[in-house]
Amino acid sequence: MASTTNELLRAVLNSKRTPSSGGRTASKPSSRKGTPKLSRSVRGSRAVSRDVSDDELDDAASIASEDTWYDAFNPEDEESEEAIGDNWESDLQEALDALGEKRATAREKALGSVVRIMSQAYVGEGLEGSRISCLEALRRCARSPKTDMEAQLALCGISLWFINFGMESEPEDYTAISEQLKALVIDRSKAASARSSALATLGMANFVAGSDFRDAAALLQFVDSQVLKVELSSKEHGAAAVVRQALETYGLLMTVIADGNARLAEQLFDTSFDVHMRALAADNVELRVAAAQNFALIHSTLARENGTTNANSNGSSPPLLSFEFERQDELVATLQVLQHESAKKHGKRGTSTQRSAMREILRTIEHGEMPKLKISIREKTLRLNDWSHISRLHAFRTLLGSGLPTHFVDNPLLQEVFQVEFDGSGYRYLVKEARTVVDPNSELAKARTLDMQRRRRNAREAKAVDNDADDDYY
């Protein structure tokens, strides 16, 4: 998104529009008690390689090397946010009721509370009875906002709605908002912040509630043709925030498509290859990094699908299989140029970010090496070594901010997406040893996906039976 959830809340807090939560006593679902203060924070929402010093940290810093740590808890976030109280359910309902206020400042204040609570607590069970009315209230605010801040907060709230109600959401929930958000995305008269927020919301809603990989493919084609190719066709490369979010949304959708049909993923990316190459040529470091990560994502996916084990894999992560793009040499040469680009053009921070990212991406594309990422959550360590999971992690981290550990522990959606389990009674990771996330192409991962689809299908059929019964009654 144009702004992370924490940045949006910070802006509202600075304007003194967010009400006090009535103290800093944290409720159980959102408590940070027992979470260690980490010696190193991640600014923004991305991991940073250990060879980048603390004064060089940058929002665009990307996936890094074997020793990379992604700190799910950021001490800076705690200092900039108000903790939610024990009565967060009533506070949330009060804020939702206030979304109908006529004054924009009152709606912003209420939206700030909604976003803060839904990002720091898992509300999927406590607010089940108000699930639909909550989404409708947020949609109304996003439909005709009076300020850019109201638009961003409303769109962020919709994304958080899908994260919180992910296990109960239906394809109809995504369909209900998709056209509204698409219209906002392609309206170049709207603020870049609102358009990029709409892109992020579209991606998350589709990821959570889309019917299958075909839904994701349809949205990806929209992002490619209506955003990337339009914005990158001009010499100025359009609004950087919009292009960056379009690239990140593209990557998130591609993880869904590749899981469902790798050949379709390859065909779709072939049509997007040129636009990604244009993004690599942009002046903005963040655009270059986002585009390069998509190359790594699709390369690693198709490499596994190709069928021949790469001897260069070191065995500590799922082995990549041999694959090359048609224009592999051109791509590698471009990435190598970016890796060694002089610091004069982008400064020390930007150049360090770019070099670190390109180095890791080249390891995947040239040598078949997967990234290695460790996440610290509740004093436990989770290891990710797949570009697909890393792309998904970035999307959730951007929206949840410092609430990510809480949602990993309490939210079944994140546990399903990343195949992790926590002991909720003591907030302890069930597997004491560091654990590798299940390969998304493994039989276990596919079985879990099929099980989720089956449960959703049964829920829809049960709902249809109930509706038929109501019709018979009348």
Kindly report, residue by residue over 7-21, the tens digit of the pLDDT.
Answer: 766 665 555 444 333
Q: Would you say residue 449 lies in a domain?
A: no
> Which single residue is written with the structure tokens 């636009």?
275
Higher pLDDT, 460 or 301: 301
Q: Is the pTM of this model over 0.85?
A: no
DSSP 267-314: HHHHHHHHHHHHHHTSS-HHHHHHHHHHHHHHHHHHHHHH--B-TT--
The larger pLDDT score, comparing residue 426 to residue 233, is at 233
In a domain, 130, yes or no: yes
Domain that holds residue 154: 5-374
Mean pLDDT of 105-112: 96
Q: Can you name the residues that pair with 384 across neighbouring β-strands?
A: 373
Note the pLDDT of residue 19.
Answer: 37
**What pLDDT shows up at residue 75?**
41
Going by pLDDT thresholds of 50, 70 and 90, the confidence category of residue 461 is low
Which own/partner contact pairs does 42-47 have at CB distance under 8 Å and 24+ positions apart? Answer: 42/70, 42/71, 42/74, 43/74, 43/76, 44/4, 45/4, 45/394, 45/397, 45/398, 45/401, 46/394, 46/397, 47/373
* pLDDT of 336: 96
The reply to whether 63 falls in a domain is yes
pLDDT of res. 381: 76
Residues 100, 110: Cα–Cα separation, whole Å: 9
Q: Residue 390: inside a domain, yes or no?
A: no
Domain count across the chain: 1
- Write the CATH number for 81: 1.25.10.10
Model pLDDT, residue 222: 98
Q: Give the pLDDT of residue 438.
A: 45
Mean predicted confidence (pLDDT) in 394-414 = 93
Percent of the chain with pLDDT over 90: 50
**Listed ranges 14-18, 73-77, 152-156, 230-234; the one with the highest mean pLDDT:** 152-156
Provide the pLDDT for residue 77.
45
Asked whether residue 348 is assigned to any structural domain, the reply reads yes
Asked whether the predicted pLDDT for residue 72 surpasses 80, the reply is no
Query: Hunting for tokens 């082995």 — which residue is that?
Result: 319
Q: Label the pairing between strands 68-71 and 373-377.
A: parallel
> Tell me: the pLDDT tens digits for 273-296?
999 999 999 999 999 999 999 999
Q: Tell whether 470 is covered by a domain.
A: no
Q: Is 454 domain-assigned?
A: no
Q: Which residue has the higher pLDDT, 90 or 70?
A: 90
Asked whether the beta carbons of 217 and 268 are under 8 A apart, the reply is yes
* CA distance linking residue 379 with residue 468, whole number of Å: 50
pLDDT computed for residue 91 by the predictor: 92
Three-state secondary-structure class, residue 374: strand
Provide DSSP, 135-158: HHHHHHHHHS-SSHHHHHHHHHHH
pLDDT at 127: 78
> What is the predicted pLDDT for the residue at 377?
80
- The SS3 of residue 316 is coil
Q: Which of 134, 95, 128 is nearest to 112 (CA)?
A: 95
257-271, 355-369, 426-440: segment of lowest average pLDDT: 426-440
Which has more confidence, 195 or 5?
A: 195
Helix residue ranges, H only, 55-130: 75-80, 88-97, 104-120
Q: Which tens digits make up the pLDDT trace of 185-235?
A: 999 999 999 999 999 999 999 999 998 999 999 999 999 999 999 999 866
pLDDT band at 64 (very low <50, low <70, confident <90, very high): very low
Lay out the sheet containing 373-377: strands in order across: 68-71, 373-377, 380-384, 435-436
Residue percentage of the chain with pLDDT more than 70: 67
Is residue 443 exposed (0-12), middle (13-18) or buried (19+ Cβ within 10 Å)? exposed
What pLDDT, on the 0 to 100 scale, is given for residue 1? 58
C-alpha–C-alpha distance, residues 358 and 338, integer Å: 7
Can you give the pLDDT at residue 173?
87
Residue 61 pLDDT > 70:
no
pLDDT value at residue 410: 92
Structural domain contains residue 336: yes
